Amino acid sequence: MRIGEVAALVGITSRAVRHYHHIGLLPEPARRANGYRAYTVRDAVLLARIRRLTELGLGLDEVRDVLADDAGRDLAEVLGELDADLARQERELAERRRQLARLLDGPLSDLGPVSPELAELLGAAAATDSPTAVKDREHLVLLDGAGGSAEVYAALRPLAEDPAVVALYERLDELAGAPADDPRIGPLAAELVAAVPAGVFDAIPYGGDPHPGIGAALLADYPPAQAEVVRRVMAAMTARMRERR
Amino acid sequence: MRIGEVAALVGITSRAVRHYHHIGLLPEPARRANGYRAYTVRDAVLLARIRRLTELGLGLDEVRDVLADDAGRDLAEVLGELDADLARQERELAERRRQLARLLDGPLSDLGPVSPELAELLGAAAATDSPTAVKDREHLVLLDGAGGSAEVYAALRPLAEDPAVVALYERLDELAGAPADDPRIGPLAAELVAAVPAGVFDAIPYGGDPHPGIGAALLADYPPAQAEVVRRVMAAMTARMRERR
DNA sequence: CTTGACCTTGTCGTGGCGTCAAGGTTTCTA
DNA sequence: TAGAAACCTTGACGCCACGACAAGGTCAAG
């Protein structure tokens, strides 16, 4: 048989057969005078075994191992491992599908896919065009990906529903062009801190300061006066969280 | 933020972030004086979205598409396709696991994993060390991989169980060193053809001659006298099968 | 001043082949 | 008898999402 014939017989491509030669899985057969490979029935039988094993999901080097020790004992062992592997993959797949279903079930945030808990919180929040409010929500989305906790969201719920919070955001917006020593900074920071429900501090998982660069980048994201407010609010909050421990 | 910080924040590796830059999925941020990349919160938010999408199983170019059209419409569409794809993969996985279970359930042939139907037939066949019998079974295993039919196996069942067939194989063995004109060839071929149950011809799916090289290789697998017997048996069988159509 | 933890660019490797490229051989057909 | 179609040969690159390594430069702490 020529290579195309043996390949068609066992149901694979000639390229695959050549590949098996290349990696030493199948010995090179004799050649005809014109250089064509001349396959025997034995080669075809071997190829058929290779095909069945690869179709089960074995890698080519696993196939080589199985073919090497002719004993069926090793085959059973490898197949056992393979089944465990497939079971694991199946679980992962099912898990991803569950995540997907949860995403498709709820409303799709325009900030991308988020956890259903956060999506619910964002949906409950008062609608506003305030730029700082939008930024704040982006930060929530960011933390959501970094393992945001449903308890924090629950604790934030009353804050999100409070219509008064919109006014606070708007006062923050007004500081966009203000200098870093604007007199409105102090009072606004104090009011913001006071607005945060006490339960939030208990819910936030406190795992030590992560990286100094992150806080700096957060502040760099705001114009000077706003950054100063944010700095004060964060300082007050971390201080209060440190008290708790 | 430096690259390691933003990577840790969103839960990926710095290498992945650089990769996203390389393929244009994430724009290169500004550099500090020392050449380090300086990431903003916006970058982190983008990376978090990328991470969530890739974790769902999207490819990076699909992620790019989703991020490109900011509309949530396209996202739902892509996620729908993705779910269909995952469902397909899940079915394939389950199918492979079923095959595996069937293999592990029955006895493992020393010729490698075969369909349970063929395994059953081989188990029922009379035990023998005859080389031509072994070869014959290898051919069955080969055809099994090429979509062997359970009906053929059922039709062969009485032949396999017949103790007289062992004697036929042994007479074929004896022709190993004989010349191509040995007088035992004719009678043996006739008896072999007569031994094949009529039902086999109905069961064999006849799809025209596949490739001439295959038959030639089959004959080349035998010494001259045996090859002549095989040639006659096959000629008789194909002739009878052609009659049927 | 060293140590160690970062950062930079660039390149190779992964798995199982698919897909050209640039030829040579064989066989069928006009 | 020529030419086209269908084979075959070796060789090399592409895929996908990075991991691992090399060979440096940078920075803060002890």
CATH number at residue B60: 1.10.1660.10
Same domain for A59 and A132: no
The DSSP output letter for B127 is: P
Same domain for A145 and A98: no
Closest CA of chain B from A64, distance in Å: 13
Nearest residue to A138 (alpha-carbon basis) of B42, B11, B56: B42
Q: Is residue A196 part of a domain?
A: yes
Same domain for A9 and A95: no
CB B120 within 8 Å of CB B159 = no
Residue A31 pairs in a beta bridge with A37
Lowest mean pLDDT among A18-32, B179-193, B202-216: B202-216
Same domain for B200 and B178: yes
Provide the domain limits for residue B169.
109-244
In percent, the amount of chain B with pLDDT more than 70 equals 93
Same domain for A123 and A221: yes
Same domain for A125 and A197: yes
pLDDT at B206 > cutoff 70:
no
In percent, the amount of chain A with pLDDT more than 70 equals 93
- Spatial separation of the C-alpha atoms in residues A165 and A169, rounded to whole Å: 6
The pair phi, psi for residue B216, each rounded to 5°, is -60, -45
Buried b or exposed e, range B42-59, using 16+ CB within 10 angstroms: ebbbbbbbbbbbbebbbe
CB B185 within 8 Å of CB B225 = yes
- Spatial separation of the C-alpha atoms in residues B72 and B80, rounded to whole Å: 12
- Spatial separation of the C-alpha atoms in residues A218 and A235, rounded to whole Å: 13
pLDDT digit string, tens, across residues B100-138: 888 777 666 666 678 878 888 888 888 888 999 989 988
Residues of A in contact with B78 (CB under 8 A): none
Chain B interface, best mutation among A43, A45, A50, A54, by max B CB count within 10 A: A45
Closest CA of chain B from A216, distance in Å: 7
- Helix%, strand%, coil% for chain A, nearest 5: 70, 0, 30
Nearest residue to A229 (alpha-carbon basis) of A177, A166, A187: A187
The pair phi, psi for residue A33, each rounded to 5°, is -60, -30
Q: How far is the CA of A59 from the C1' of C16 (A)?
A: 9
Choose one of B105, B126, B160: the last residue of a domain.
Answer: B105
Q: Is residue A110 part of a domain?
A: no
Lowest mean pLDDT among A87-96, B66-75, B85-94, B196-205: B66-75
Query: Quick one: pLDDT at residue A244?
Result: 67
Q: How far is the CA of B4 from the C1' of C6 (A)?
A: 8
CB B86 within 8 Å of CB A179 = no
- Spatial separation of the C-alpha atoms in residues A133 and B169, rounded to whole Å: 87
Contact A113 B56 (CB under 8 A): yes
Residue B37 pairs in a beta bridge with B31
End-to-end CA distance of chain B: 77
pLDDT at B245 > cutoff 90:
no
Is B58 or A106 the better-scoring residue by pLDDT?
Answer: B58
- Spatial separation of the C-alpha atoms in residues B117 and A213, rounded to whole Å: 66
pLDDT at B70 > cutoff 80:
no
Domain total for chain A? 3
Same domain for B97 and B144: no
- Helix%, strand%, coil% for chain B, nearest 5: 70, 0, 30
Contact B70 A110 (CB under 8 A): yes
- Spatial separation of the C-alpha atoms in residues A11 and A121, rounded to whole Å: 55
Same domain for B126 and B225: yes
Q: Is residue A199 part of a domain?
A: yes
pLDDT digit string, tens, across residues A61-77: 999 988 887 766 677 88
Q: Does any CB of chain A come closer than 8 Å to the CB of residue B197?
A: no
Same domain for A170 and A84: no
CA distances from A4 to A18, A31, B109, B142 (A): 10, 14, 28, 16
Residues of B in contact with A82 (CB under 8 A): 100
Contact B86 A70 (CB under 8 A): no
- Spatial separation of the C-alpha atoms in residues B53 and A99, rounded to whole Å: 11
The DSSP output letter for A37 is: B
Is A189 buried (19+), middle (13-18) or exposed (0-12) by CB count in 10 A? buried
- Spatial separation of the C-alpha atoms in residues A130 and B133, rounded to whole Å: 84
Question: Which H or E run includes B163?
Answer: none
Helices (H) and strands (E) in chain B, counts: 13, 0
| Residue with smallest Cα–C1' gap to D27 | B34
What's the angle, vertex CA A109, arms to CA A107 and CA A114, rounded to 5? 95
Same domain for B135 and B199: yes
Same domain for A141 and A126: yes
End-to-end CA distance of chain A: 78
Choose one of B47, B68, B89: the last residue of a domain.
Answer: B68
Rg of chain A (C-alpha set): 32
Instruction: Give whichever of A193-197, A203-207, B238-242 has the largest mean pLDDT.
Output: A193-197
The DSSP output letter for B57 is: T
Same domain for A90 and A131: no
HSE, side-chain direction, 13 A CA sphere, residue B129:
0
- Spatial separation of the C-alpha atoms in residues A116 and B185, rounded to whole Å: 78
